[in-house]
Amino acid sequence: MMHESGSLSIHSENIFPIIKKWLYSDQDIFIRELVSNASDAIMKLKKLETMGEAQIPQDTEFKIQVVVDDQKKIIQVIDNGIGMTAEEVKQYINQIAFSGAEDFLEKYKDKTDQDQIIGHFGLGFYSAFMVADQVQIDTLSYQEGAEPVKWICDGGTEYKMEKSNRKERGTTITLYISEEGQNFLNEYTLRSTLQKYCSFMPVEIYFENPNQPPTTKEPNSDIEKDEKKPEPINNPSPLYLKHPNDCTDEEYKAFYREVFFDFQDPLFWIHLNMDYPFKMKGILYFPKLKNEFETMEGQIKLYCNQVFVADNIKEVIPEFLLLLKGVMDCPDFPLNVSRSFLQNDGYVNKISNYITKKVADKLKSLYKKEKENYEKYWDDIHPFIKYGCLRDEKFYERMNPFVLYKTTKGDYVTLDEYLERNKEKHDKTVFYVTNEQQQAQYIHFFKENDLEAVILPSTIDQPFISHIEMKKSEVSFKRVDSDLSDVMKTEDDSKSSDETKKSIEEMFRKALGKEDLKIQIENLKSENISAMILLSEQSRRMQDMSYMFGNFSPGMFPEEQTLVINQRNPLVQRLFQLQKQATQEEDVKMICEHLYDLALLSHKPLDAQSMNRFIQRNQTILARLLG
Ligand code: ADP
Ligand code: MG
């Protein structure tokens, strides 16, 4: 072959600066591009062989080698695939991906938001120039009688082509690493980049560093004793490609560990396997939460034909599913389009709906067939399910019948079950607890009255119950400290006339001197309760919400507090008698204040000032006892 040089056939001289600038934040994708080209080259050759169009020696071991030499400052990607003839190099390399480059320039030259594109415009090979100031191709085509070709380009629009001395079929891409690409000469960086993008590529990839001995597997059998076999850095047949019927639990768990480095086993998983109307394979795992305060944080890795594309693309995967961990491979995925386009893409919506349905089906079948496990998992999976219900109407409709509520009796029930079994006592009302410690007194009081509440301690629960109330307008949720159910009260007995009630109220009002405090006199079944605080459900929720959204300012939603005094409590009765004696006014005031503080205390911690007064008063009372 003659020496040849020429100009790259693109209409702009400025493509390289743009590629460099544009893709700068994703500099590492050059690895993805070059290794996937190598893998494509091998897959193409295999395909030709099966079609009888290429002869390959029997003992061929297809593989890709990635060589990093930090002394020579080069990185090489070597394959024994299809190779290229000089004609092909001219066609596929010199005419930069035909119109692809122009499209790219047209669409993106003015954009600054680099997140806009996920894929690329057939510029894969040229991404090499993000890290190299010179790139060399040495290639020998599989075709009989082909001549090896060398191609060199220094990142300008000029290239040089000549005969190469390559002897074996395949292609070597050599990158002479530039200033910008130095960190990829670091073995660790390069290795982890390979692991990120190429973990599941269909051809074995070997990492080599001529300045370091290769990583080897310990020989574990006699046969292997004298040949230490290097290990590929990837897994060319990842589990998600296997048919679900052929996978064992152990394999699923091992794959989870391998991909997510999470050594806690997942709770369960869903193997997605679909061919029609679109192709998609993958495994979604429900991770175990490490502690009760941890919010779920998932990771969904998206692959396209075993090449990693990106994590957590929320335009493709329903947002709530991002709380799970998993891998998904969508071979037909339109990668080279902008993210805003994806949101409105029918194909993408179909994927999204399909996954949502699969997840709901799996949960439903667990509920139906493995109720015990489902309950066991509930504490780990409920934030995910509730979030899903909030974000996705269809998921809500599918899942709502299987949302569980843990009760103060210690079992798990559905909403319908709870309503049904409490129908006689409080129809259509669900009492709930948000903090079992803080609301312990109320829970105790509930139990005394043979009532049950559900336990809803998570941040997601408040928006979730509001959602249920919106969907089922007849149902209302009330926190245990917001209202008294009729079953907690008893018939007025003769002792309590309206007049008595009035005077007890007056006694407290005068002692506490709080104008805006509502005081309510009741006959509670539990005699041992002297007073308790009720907090209007509505104003408390408003308050909670403004806290959550960070726009809380004091006084915006004043707390609507009610002090309930139990007329049947012996202490209250004695206090009422005492009050009739004019001389005891001071004691009455002190005891009223004290009862109020006690009620407050079983509701929430006292503020500093009240706490001070409370302690002082306690001392006074103790001093009195001693006489
Ligand atoms: P794409 O892979 O999207 O076609 P690239 O810029 O990555 O675009 O590559 C352009 C073309 O160059 C490929 O389609 C292929 O024909 C050829 N090519 C690149 N790398 C190799 C290789 N290692 N072996 C054989 N052909 C290759
Ligand atoms: Mg490519």
Residues 528-587 have pLDDT tens digits of 999 999 999 998 888 888 877 776 676 666 778 899 999 999 999 999 988 888 778 888
> Domains in the chain and their CATH numbers?
4-208 (3.30.565.10), 239-372 (3.30.230.80), 487-626 (1.20.120.790)
Indicate whether residue 334 lines ligand 1 (CB < 6 A). no
CA-36 nearest atom, ligand 1: 2
Residue 548: its pLDDT value, please?
74
| Region 393-405 average pLDDT | 95
Q: Kindly tell me if the per-residue pLDDT of 26 is higher than 90.
A: no
Confidence band, pLDDT 50/70/90 cuts, at residue 10: low
Q: Could you read off the pLDDT of 90-113 as tens digits, one per residue?
A: 888 887 644 445 555 565 555 544
Looking at residue 309, the DSSP 8-state letter turns out to be E
Span from the CA of 303 to the centroid of ligand 2 (angstroms): 15
90: CA distance to ligand 1 center in Å?
Answer: 12
Our answer on whether the CB atom of 78 is closer than 6 Å to any ligand 1 atom is no
Is the model's pLDDT at 217 over the cut of 60?
no
pLDDT for 215 equals: 57
Distance between CA 243 and CA 87 in Å, rounded?
Answer: 42
Q: What is the pLDDT of residue 118?
A: 40
114 falls in which pLDDT band (50, 70, 90)?
A: very low
β-strand partners of 626:
none
Identity (one letter) of the amino acid at 372? E
Residue partners of 38: CB distance under 8 A and separation at least 6? 64, 77, 78, 79, 81, 171, 173, 203
Ligand 1 lined by 202 (C-beta under 6 Å): no
Predicted local confidence at residue 219, as pLDDT: 54
What ligand has the least distance to the C-alpha of 137? 1
Q: How far apart are CA 108 and CA 128, in angstroms?
A: 19
Closest ligand 1 atom to 173 CA? 23
What is the pLDDT at residue 107? 56
Query: Which residue of 32, 37, 44, 143 sits with most ligand 1 atoms within 8 Å of its CB, as the best mutation to test the pocket?
Result: 37
Nearest CA to ligand 1 atom 14: 92
236-250, 284-298, 380-394: least confident range: 284-298
| Residue 112: predicted pLDDT | 46
DSSP letter for 524, please. B
Cβ atoms of 440 and 431 within 8 Å: the answer is no
Q: Is the peptide bond before 236 cis (omega within 30 degrees of 0)?
A: no
Integer angstrom CA distances of residue 138 from 57, 170, 328, 403, 552? 21, 8, 35, 61, 66
Residue 372: pLDDT over 70: yes
Task: State yes or no: pLDDT of 73 exceeds 90.
Answer: yes
3-state helix vs strand vs coil in the chain, percent to 5: 45, 20, 40
- Tell how strand 531-535 and strand 518-522 pair up: unpaired
How high is the mean pLDDT of the chain? 86
Share of the chain above pLDDT 90, in %: 56
Amino acid at 441: Q
Closest-CA residue, ligand 1 atom 19, reads: 37
pLDDT of residue 582: 73
Check residue 216 and give its pLDDT.
57
pLDDT band at 336 (very low <50, low <70, confident <90, very high): low
Give per-residue pLDDT as tens, 462-499.
Answer: 999 999 999 999 999 999 999 888 888 887 655 557 88
The radius of gyration of the chain from alpha carbons, rounded to an integer in Å, stands at 36
Is residue 285 lining ligand 1, measured as CB closer than 6 Å?
no
The pLDDT assigned to 120 comes to: 46
Check residue 509 and give its pLDDT.
93
For the segment 185-212, the average pLDDT, to the nearest whole number, is 94
The reply to whether ligand 1 has any atom less than 6 angstroms from the CB of 35 is no
Considering every ligand atom shown, identify the ligand nearest to the alpha carbon of residue 142 and give its number. 1
Weakest-pLDDT range from 218-227, 405-414, 437-446: 218-227
E strand or H helix that includes residue 412: strand 412-414
Distance between terminal CA atoms of the chain? Answer: 117
140 Cα to the center of ligand 2, angstroms: 18
Nearest CA to ligand 1 atom 9: 125
Rounded CA-CA distance 609/619 in Å is 16
Q: Looking at residue 98, what is its pLDDT?
A: 44
pLDDT of residue 627: 80
Residue 414 is predicted with a pLDDT of 97
CA pair distance 599, 426, nearest whole angstrom: 24
405 lines ligand 1 (CB under 6 A): no
